[in-house]
Chains A and B, each alone.
Chain A
Amino acid sequence: MSTLNILFAGFGGQGILFSGKFMAYEGLLADKHVSWLPSYGPEMRGGTANCSVIISDEEVGSPIVDKPDVLVVMNLPSLDKYEDAVVPGGKIFVDCSLIERKVERTDVSVYYVPATGLASEKKIPTLANMIITGKMLKELGFSLDSVDAVLGKIVSTRHQDLLSVNKDAIRAGYEL
C-alpha cells in the first residue's frame, strides 16, 4: 500500500465522520501520513455527510478523495452519487440494511454488510458505522491489534463507557 483513499458517505448522524476519524487514527498509529476531511455545515445535521480519509506512505497532497480506492456507503443517495467514482479494482462496502439496490459496477469488489440491521439486533443501534468499519478493516487486511489504542484516542473521556460497545461493534463486523 502506498496510498489508500477512503470515502465514507451517508446521512448526518450515522457516525460517518467518526468512522473516518477511526481510520485516520489507525493510519497515524501505524506511522503513516494521514488526512481527514469532513463535509461541514448544515450537512452535518441531517443531510448527506461524507468524509475523505487518506492513509499514505508519502506526504498527503490534496485531502479530497474524489477517486476512492474504498467507498463505504450508508444510504442510497451516496451510492448513487459515488459508485462511478471508485477506481477500477476498488472496494465498495454497502450497508444493505438501508440500501436495497445492488452495485452496478462489475470491475470492483462489493461487500454487502447488513450493518444497521445487525446493530439493532445487538441493541447497539447507533453503531452500524462501526460494524461496517469492522468489515472494512478485515477486507483491507488490518488487524484488530490497534483497535483499543485507536478507540482510546477518539472516544472522549466522558464517554469511556462506550469503548467496549464500539469494540464489540467493530469485532462483529470483522467476523462477518
Chain B
Amino acid sequence: MGEKVLMKGNEAIAEAAIRAGCRHYFGYPITPQTEVAAYMSKRMPKIGGTFLQAESEIAAINMVIGVAATGKRVMTSSSSPGISLKQEGISYLAGCDLPALVVNVERGGPGLGGIQPSQSDYWQATKAGGHGDYHNIVLAPASVQEMAALTIKGFELADKYSMVTMILADGTMGQMMEPVEIDDIEIKTVEKPWALTGTGMARSHNIVNSLYLKPDLLEQKNFERYEKYAQIEKSEVMYEEYMMDDADICLVAFGITARVAKNAIAEARAKGIKVGLLRPITLWPFPSQALAARASQCKAFISVEMNMGQMIDDVKLAISCSRPVYLCNRVGGMIPSPEEVLDKIISVSGGAD
C-alpha cells in the first residue's frame, strides 16, 4: 500500500499518465483543465519526457498523431472548446487505428460558453465528434481516485484496441481534491508490431494511413473496425450499481451528477422511496444490457445530467422505451442540488409513501 495523498483531479490524471508510461504530452491551456498541462510541464523535463505547449489545440492533436504512430504512449488534454478543435485529429487517429488518450474536462457551452462544470459534450464524445464512422472508448470518472485509475485503464484500452480513449470529466472532477492512491494500480502494456520505429533493414515498412481511395477497400476497413467495436461492446462495459437490489426507480448518472444522485438517494430512502443508481463508467460502450436488465424491475428511470438531455437518448434505447425515462438537469455550469434530484424522485414516485 502506498500513501494516500490529496490531489486535484487534473493532477491525478497527469501523475497517473506518467505512471502509465506516457512520456509525451502536447496541449494548450484552458480552464478548467490547465493543471494537467501545468503538472506535465513540471514533471516531463525531469523524467526525460516531452512537454510541449503547442501553438493551438489543432497543432497539439496532430503532434499526438505523430507520436502515436511510433507506438509510444501519448496524450493531450483540453476543455470543451479546445476539444472541438481537436476533432479533426481524433477522426484521423480513428482512421489510422492509432491509440492515444484524450482528456476533456468539460465546461459549459456552446461556443466559448463559461468555465464552470458541464456534461454537455456527451454527444460529441460518444457519438464521434469528428467526421466518419468511428467510436472512441469514453470513460467517465466520478472521483479523483477514478481520474487516476481510468487514466491508466484508458491507456491500456487504447493500446489493446488501437484507438482513442477519451476521459470525459468536468470542472468539478478536475478541480476537486480527494485522497488518491496510485502506487497499487497495475500497469499493463502491449506489443505494437505495427508501429513506425524504423525497419533496421530487418523487416518491411509499416504504414500508418487513413486514406483509402478504393471504396471497396475503405468499406472493408470500416467493417473490420466495427468488428473490433463489437468486441469492445461485449467485453469492456463498466458500470456501478448502487442500491439497485430493491429499487423501483433507477437513476442514471455519471461523473459529478452520480455523486449528487447518491445524496438524493439517501434522502429519498429515508422517506421510504426505493430508488437506486446505475452509474455508467464507460459511456461508450454504454451499459445498455445492465439497464435493460433493470427495466422489468423498475417502473421508471431518471437521467440526471448537466446538459439539455443527451445521455437520456441512450437510456431510452437501452430499455427500448419500455418504461418512462425522465430528465433531471441543470446546464450552463450549474450543478443540480441533491434537493432538485430528490424533488424529481418524489414527483416520479407519485409522492412519498
Instruction: Report the Cα distance A61→B259, complex, angstroms.
Output: 5
Instruction: Report the Cα distance A67→B79, complex, angstroms.
Output: 29
Instruction: Report the Cα distance A35→B8, complex, angstroms.
Output: 10
Looking at A35, A40, A41, A61, the one whose CB has the most chain B CB atoms below 10 A away is A40
A-B CB pair tally, cutoff 8 Å: 61
Contacting B at CB under 8 A, from A32-47, are: 33-38, 40-41
Tell whether, in the assembled complex, residue A37 and residue B6 are in contact, meaning their CB atoms are under 8 Å apart.
no
Instruction: Report the Cα distance A61→B277, complex, angstroms.
Output: 13
Q: How far is the CB of A57 from chain B (nearest CB, A)?
A: 14
A171 is an interface residue with CB less than 8 A from chain B:
no
- Identify 18 residue pairs between A and B in the complex whose beta-carbon atoms are under 8 Å apart, listed by A's number: A21-B177, A24-B177, A28-B4, A36-B177, A37-B172, A37-B175, A37-B177, A40-B175, A41-B31, A41-B116, A61-B259, A61-B260, A61-B262, A61-B266, A62-B260, A63-B172, A63-B178, A153-B6
Residues in chain B near residue A38, CB distance under 8 A: 175-176
Q: How far is the CB of B114 from chain A (nearest CB, A)?
A: 9
Tell whether, in the assembled complex, residue B338 and residue A35 are in contact, meaning their CB atoms are under 8 Å apart.
no
Instruction: Report the Cα distance A37→B175, complex, angstroms.
Output: 7
Residues in chain B near residue A35, CB distance under 8 A: 176-178
A66 is an interface residue with CB less than 8 A from chain B:
yes
Q: Looking across the interface, which residue of chain A has its beta carbon closest to that of B177?
A: A36
Residues in chain A near residue B6, CB distance under 8 A: 21, 24-25, 28, 34, 36, 153
Tell whether, in the assembled complex, residue A41 and residue B179 are in contact, meaning their CB atoms are under 8 Å apart.
no
B332 is an interface residue with CB less than 8 A from chain A:
no
Residues in chain B near residue A64, CB distance under 8 A: 172, 260, 335, 337
A124 is an interface residue with CB less than 8 A from chain B:
no
- Which residue in B172, B179, B338 is a CB contact (below 8 Å) of A61? B338
Q: How far is the CB of A6 from chain B (nearest CB, A)?
A: 14
Contacting B at CB under 8 A, from A9-56, are: 21, 24-25, 28, 33-38, 40-41
Residues in chain B near residue A36, CB distance under 8 A: 6, 176-178
- A interface footprint on B14-35 (CB within 8 Å = 1, 0 otherwise): 0000000000000000011000
Tell whether, in the assembled complex, residue A63 and residue B176 are in contact, meaning their CB atoms are under 8 Å apart.
yes
- B interface footprint on A129-142 (CB within 8 Å = 1, 0 otherwise): 00000000000000
A144 is an interface residue with CB less than 8 A from chain B:
no
Instruction: Report the Cα distance A9→B178, complex, angstroms.
Output: 20
Residues in chain B near residue A40, CB distance under 8 A: 31-32, 115, 171, 175
Chain B interface residues (CB < 8 Å from chain A): 4-6, 31-32, 115-116, 171-172, 175-179, 256, 259-260, 262-263, 266, 335, 337-338
Residues in chain A near residue B266, CB distance under 8 A: 61
Q: Looking across the interface, which residue of chain A has its beta carbon closest to that of B114?
A: A41
Tell whether, in the assembled complex, residue B178 and residue A34 are in contact, meaning their CB atoms are under 8 Å apart.
yes
- Which residue in B4, B178, B337 is a CB contact (below 8 Å) of A60? B178
Instruction: Report the Cα distance A18→B118, complex, angstroms.
Output: 26
**Would you list the 10 A-B pairs with minimal beta carbon distance, nearest first?**
A61-B263, A36-B177, A61-B262, A37-B176, A62-B260, A41-B115, A62-B259, A40-B175, A61-B259, A62-B263
Instruction: Report the Cα distance A41→B31, complex, angstroms.
Output: 7
- B interface footprint on A54-93 (CB within 8 Å = 1, 0 otherwise): 0000001111101000000000000000000000000000
Q: How far is the CB of B334 from chain A (nearest CB, A)?
A: 11
Residues in chain A near residue B256, CB distance under 8 A: 62-63
Q: How far is the CB of B262 from chain A (nearest CB, A)?
A: 4
Residues in chain A near residue B177, CB distance under 8 A: 21, 24, 35-37
Residues in chain A near residue B337, CB distance under 8 A: 64, 66
Instruction: Report the Cα distance A25→B175, complex, angstroms.
Output: 16
Beyond A21-B6, A63-B172, whether A28 also contacts B260 by CB under 8 A is: no
